[in-house]
Amino acid sequence: MPPERYGPSAGGGPPEAEVRLRVRETLDAAARGTDGPRAVPAALCTACVRLLPVAGSSVSISGGAGIRVTWCASDRVAARLAELQYTLGDGPCQDALDRGVPVLAADLTQGPDARRWPVFALEAVALGARAVFSLPLGVTGAAIGTLDLYSEQAGGLAPPDVRVARWVGDAVTFALAGLRAAGHGGPDEDPGDAMASWVAASEADHTEVHQAVGMVMVQLDVDSAQALDRLRARAYADGRTVSQAAREVLCRRLSFRPEPYGGDPAWP
């Protein structure tokens, strides 16, 4: 029986402290069982699915100023849901990051959740996700990212599952900072060096989007928030992610310069 079924309200189950320990041990074991630091994120996301009654999970890291990147995902749908929310700038993940509190969307097919994020809800259901649960990650009240879970069935998380989800989020946050303890760092290696190897790809994506936003700002003479909104809108209209659209801008295959005679913008 998975640890989440052992919540305090489950009669005869282990106490809360034991459940929390099992959550931490499961994630630690997943991290230790990888071939190297770069494989740890995916292993943690897969372990989250084993700990909770969900179909998939992802972790997104915030780059500030609306910039966010998917750090790991357990499967293709989880990755697509994370990228979709980033592209739209809307959804449970964005709300959890902005507000610093868990956001639980129990039914994206109808009702308040479907109306709250209409475009995201429509796209998410098309991907096979009918419920999405987002929890902020971080310490001292500052959200540095989110743990995002999805279910193929509509319905909320039971109170014991919500508690386990919070503990999983805490454990993932500490796992990020505890890479050395997981046994991936050498004896002379600075713990930050191993940590950097985990997020190197994420930082590259952050940099690309930041640079592309700067180019759009110049092309349209707008501020960074407006430039990011335009980049997101163009990415969604073209069926691409924001990261993909940013690369197109940097490669000068996509421009936002106004055309004097109408039509799509093009580089001279």
The pLDDT value recorded for residue 76 is 92
* 3-state per-residue secondary structure call for 68-89: EEEEEECCHHHHHHHHHHHHHC
Closest by Cα among 33, 88, 96, 36 to 62: 96
pTM (two decimals): 0.71
User: Is residue 156 a contact partner of residue 104, using CB atoms and an 8 Å limit?
Assistant: yes
Helix (H) or strand (E) holding 143: strand 142-151
Tokens found for residue 117: 């994020």
The pLDDT value recorded for residue 183 is 42
Q: What is the pLDDT along the chain (268 residues), one digit of tens a residue?
A: 454 444 444 444 567 888 888 888 888 888 788 776 667 778 888 888 999 999 999 988 776 555 667 778 899 999 999 988 888 888 999 899 888 889 999 999 999 999 999 999 999 999 999 999 999 887 666 677 899 999 999 999 998 898 888 888 887 777 665 543 444 444 344 433 434 444 454 555 567 777 888 888 888 888 877 888 888 788 878 877 777 888 888 888 888 887 655 455 544 3
The domains of the chain, with CATH numbers, are: 3-177 (3.30.450.40), 191-250 (no CATH)
Residue 73 burial (C-beta neighbours within 10 Å; 0-12, 13-18, 19+):
buried
d(CA 79, CA 102): 19
Degrees, nearest 5: CA angle 227-229-231 = 70
The pLDDT value recorded for residue 114 is 96
Using alpha carbons only, how large is the chain's radius of gyration in Å? 20
